[in-house]
Chains A and B, each alone.
Chain A
Amino acid sequence: METKYISRDGITQWFEVIVTSGKRVYAPVNSHGQVDFKLVKSLSEVADDYIQTTQSIKASVYPKAEVLFSYEKEHGKVNLTDFDPDTIPETVLWRVHPCDAAGFRPLSAIFNWDSADKLHNAHLIKTSVVSFSCANADESCFCTSVNGSPGNTSGSDVQLTVLPDGGAIAEILTPKGEALVALLPSVFETDRGDKKEQYLVDLPARFSLEEVNAKLNKAFNSTVWKEQSERCIGCGACAFVCPTCACFDIQEDVHGSKGRRIRCWDACGFSLFTLHTSGHNPREHQSQRWRQRILHKFSYMPDRLSVVGCTGCGRCSRACPVDMNLLEHITSIAKQ
């Protein structure tokens, strides 16, 4: 772990070298009011005047639709083409927020808890993360309540904290980060002694995770689930924009004797998510599905995988058409 200083021009030059090195660079781009990660070629395309992107970056290691394998049947034989990790290009995610970088840990926990997911792990190895710490937040952010912070470095390979002169404190955190820095080491100057904490937004914690966990363990039959979920329309937007939600569906794309098996995003909030072929649905009411969402993130994952399933990025609340404010609901549970 090393700390350096990089000037404003240094950042531009380093960015250009990363792009010309052949790596694919994804960064937030503002297109008609929505800021989202897109392929970029120059720093001028990158947006910097926003609180949070609409979608998370989980698509970098968990694409919204991915081919598991493909096959072709010919004269009774089957030719199978498996997923090839060598086809994944080297990728750099630029200007990621700490809450998004922190999402890689719960995602990895889910994709490796009983067997190692080949695809997710292959993507992760080829992905480097350059994160920028947060000087601003809005009312939906709550990273500090879930073991996070505006300067959290979990999941990042290099973290930049922007300074008033346009330069930044550069924390080089992992071997992948060192490899990125080695592309243009001259722009990384000796640390000037700037204190990172001064340039981070002050975000007080709104609830205690331990308290919430304890309350949730006794809350399975509480009426709070029905009260909180009445306006939920089961649309799935929250799950799709969440950096840690990983529920998926497996589908077949068949054309005659050729086909592909595809994995795509799904959501536990959908009414059909737990529908059995017998017709029985153990979670047939929206209140049960809402309870599942909260318990999964704040109770089951911490208990079984030792990581909380939420990074406090606030996207679910921003994306929800009927204002199912997760922060509000968790805080009310903690107060019960």
Chain B
Amino acid sequence: MKKLRDRVAALLDEGAVSLVIGYEEGTKRPRPLFCRNSESTGKLIFDSRCFHNLAVYVTKKELVGKERFAVTAPISTLRSILQLYVENQLSEEKLLVLTVDLNGELREFVTFEEILAYVAQFEMKRGEREQEILSKIEGMTREERWKFWMGEMSHCFKCYACRSACPLCYCTKCVVEVNRPQWINPWPSPISNMEWHVNRAMHMVGRCTACGACGDACPVGIPIDLITRKMMEDLAPEFGFVPGQPAKQGNALSSWKLDDREQFIR
């Protein structure tokens, strides 16, 4: 921790970066911290409780400004940063990535390749919560799945916290903010909530890195992160990408293969 704080303070003092996005202690768990001078670095922490996906801030131009900045990134944030690089939302000159590896050593990454090499060591696995709920869903019949999700959808009140928390939802004008045509109803109802979540899952195909930020942000506790996670797990072998790493052949829905699966097509 001390090494991290010292390094961040040094970077800020030297003027190498104008901002470092990290974590500090919050009310019940760590929360994001924005260090713009070395005095505030004393509050920086970095441990396994640091859960928030800080990549959601790196595309907010007003927040990060025009100068170089840095992020202290746990593995979920690193994965999102990789995807953002592939989608041309980040550049190596602007972003410095810091992390603390499993041995407690401070690592710094300047290039996309460095981050990719580091992330490749970590396997994407379901946590306990994900395994519990997903295995329950996988054991259901179709009618039971419909009842389960409709029950969850009746709680959703279209606050869009899921969208706001997702680092890959960076569109300046989201499809729900278009009213010609009004494709997704702005008001909550079970069926239009389902349409919204189906839409989000489709927009996340091949891009979602299952960081869980959407499910964590949901104020009514709907496990929406499981929809995109299950999509990622099922479609990875189909479309040939490794979960958690950007697809070498381009995003899943903007590329295709001659031998994509066709058995369901008459």
Contacts and interface: CB of A to CB of B under 8 A. Distances in A.
B27 A235 contact: no
Chain A interface helix/strand/loop/mixed:
loop
Contacts of B62: 285-286
Given A65-B188, A321-B165, A236 B159 contact: yes
A288 to B, nearest CB: 11
B160 A54 contact: no
B175 interface: no
Interface in A101-147: 139-140
Contacts of B182: 251
A235 B31 contact: no
A325 B27 contact: yes
Contact of A240 (B34, B52, B157, B221): B157
Contacts of B63: 230
Interface of B: 26-29, 31-34, 52, 56-57, 62-63, 155, 157-161, 163-165, 177, 182, 185-189, 213, 216-221
Interface centre among A140, A233, A264, A325 (most CB of B within 10 A): A233
Contacts of B218: 237
A72 to B, nearest CB: 20
A65 B87 CA distance: 37
A264 B187 CA distance: 6
Contacts of A55: 219-220
A230 B159 contact: no
A317 to B, nearest CB: 7
Contact of A54 (B161, B189, B216, B220): B220
Contact of A251 (B33, B187, B219): B187
A36 interface: yes
B164 A33 contact: no
Interface residues of A, number: 38
Given A65-B188, A323-B26, A323-B31, A236 B164 contact: yes
A100 B187 CA distance: 24
B34 A64 contact: no
A253 B217 CA distance: 29
Chain B interface helix/strand/loop/mixed:
loop
A321 B185 contact: no
A310 interface: no
Contact of A253 (B26, B28, B185): B185
Given A65-B189, A321-B52, A237 B217 contact: yes
A235 B220 contact: no
Given A233-B217, A321-B52, 9 more contacts: A34-B220, A36-B220, A64-B157, A233-B161, A235-B161, A236-B159, A236-B160, A241-B219, A322-B32
A272 interface: yes
Contacts of B34: 230-231
21 contacts: A34-B220, A54-B220, A54-B221, A65-B189, A139-B27, A231-B33, A231-B34, A233-B217, A235-B159, A236-B159, A240-B219, A251-B186, A253-B185, A262-B187, A264-B188, A265-B159, A267-B159, A321-B52, A321-B161, A321-B217, A322-B52
Contacts of B160: 235-236, 270
A43 B122 CA distance: 49
Interface in A278-293: 285-286
A236 B217 CA distance: 10
A270 B218 CA distance: 16
Interface string A19-48: 000000000000011101000000000000
B32 A231 contact: yes
Contact of B221 (A33, A253, A267, A272): A33
B186 A240 contact: no
A139 B26 CA distance: 12
Interface string A232-275: 01111101110000000101010000000010110100101000
Nearest 8 A/B pairs, CB to CB: A264-B187, A235-B161, A235-B164, A321-B217, A319-B219, A323-B31, A323-B26, A237-B219
Contacts of A325: 26-27
A328 interface: yes
Interface centre among A237, A241, A253, A272 (most CB of B within 10 A): A237
A286 B164 CA distance: 13
